[in-house]
Amino acid sequence: MSDTVRVGFVGLGDIGKPMATRLAAQQAEAGLALSVFDLAEEPVEELVAAGAKAAGGVGALAAGSDVLCVMVNNDEQVRSVLDEVLAAAPEGLTVAIHSTVAPGTPAELEERAARRGVRLVDAPVSGGVMGAGTGELAIMVGGTEEAFAAVRPVLDVLAKKVVHAGPIGAGTRFKLARNLMHYAAFTAATEAQRLAEAAGLDIVALGEVVRHTDALTGGPGAIMYRDTTAEMEPGSFWFTTFGHLRQLAEKDLDFAIALAEELGVDVPLARIARERLAPGLGFPEEQ
């Protein structure tokens, strides 16, 4: 029993509940013992039915845990949970903050936790409800090697991709960069829908095509293989490879913008893409 990692989980919402349910289902196989807490009774009851234990509060949960996972809504709630955790001050505890918080919050929380002998990592997740339920999330972790090692057995149950991004705060910065692309792409999708609708097309079918082809090509991630954003050297591998992409992209963007002008549809993101794709890829500005 001494080898069992006692895991506490706070926050059983849309993402937290399937994450905790995954831990409950895998706890025997993974050498974990799960306890949970949430202000709402129903998800706690569901987790108990799935094999977890219910804690009477955050302090009690922390006092009986080796690793405490926190998945609440915002910075204010994270701070409130940590206040209760540190009041219990269990020796050797490691706290994993899965909530997406402001860039400076993790360092602030780690400093507070360290004063009470508690380790802390920021470990935001990506992959949504589906990934949470199947254990296929990506989790980006900021923190010390020691803290990362302490939470790794838990994260390996929750995620298919675990990245130790760097020191405290690196996980959050990683997540914010990932979500910048996520929501900018959503905004571009709404622009494409308006263009397609104005052209008399079925935008549901357009969505089906986008999901099908992105699954094949990798979507925006397909260009993200360079290890730098610096300008490319003419004649280099990436200069040649992206040269073909640039030609196709600029041609198609020109056509799409012309169609939008014909139909009276405003497409500001398309115009920005036409202007910024080449330098963004790494072509010199004059190319």
Instruction: Give whole-number Cα distances, 250 to 59, 127, 258, in Å.
Output: 57, 31, 12
> What is the average per-residue pLDDT within 201-212?
97
Dihedral sign (CA 146, 147, 153, 159):
negative
Going by C-alpha positions, the residue among 95, 178, 124, 94 that lies closest to residue 15 is 124
Rounded mean pLDDT, 60-88: 96
- Spatial CA neighbour of 52 closest among 62, 39, 40, 43: 43
At 128-169, the pLDDT tens digits run 999 999 999 999 999 999 999 999 999 999 999 999 999 999
Q: Are strands 53-54 and 32-37 parallel, antiparallel or unpaired?
A: parallel
Q: 5-61 pLDDT, tens per residue? A: 999 999 999 999 999 999 999 999 999 999 999 999 999 999 999 999 999 999 999
Is 160 an annotated catalytic residue? no
Domains along the chain? 5-170 (3.40.50.720), 174-281 (1.10.1040.10)
d(CA 280, CA 17): 39
CB 266 within 8 A of CB 196: no
Residue 128 in tokens: 């949504």
Residue 6 neighbours by CB under 8 Å, 6+ apart: 32, 33, 35, 64, 65, 66, 67
What is the reported pTM? 0.92
Instruction: Say if CB 105 and CB 174 are below 8 A apart.
Output: no
Instruction: Return the closest-CA partner of residue 219 out of 244, 248, 253, 186.
Output: 186
The three-class DSSP label of residue 233 is coil
pLDDT tens, residue by residue, 92-120: 999 999 999 999 999 999 999 999 999 99
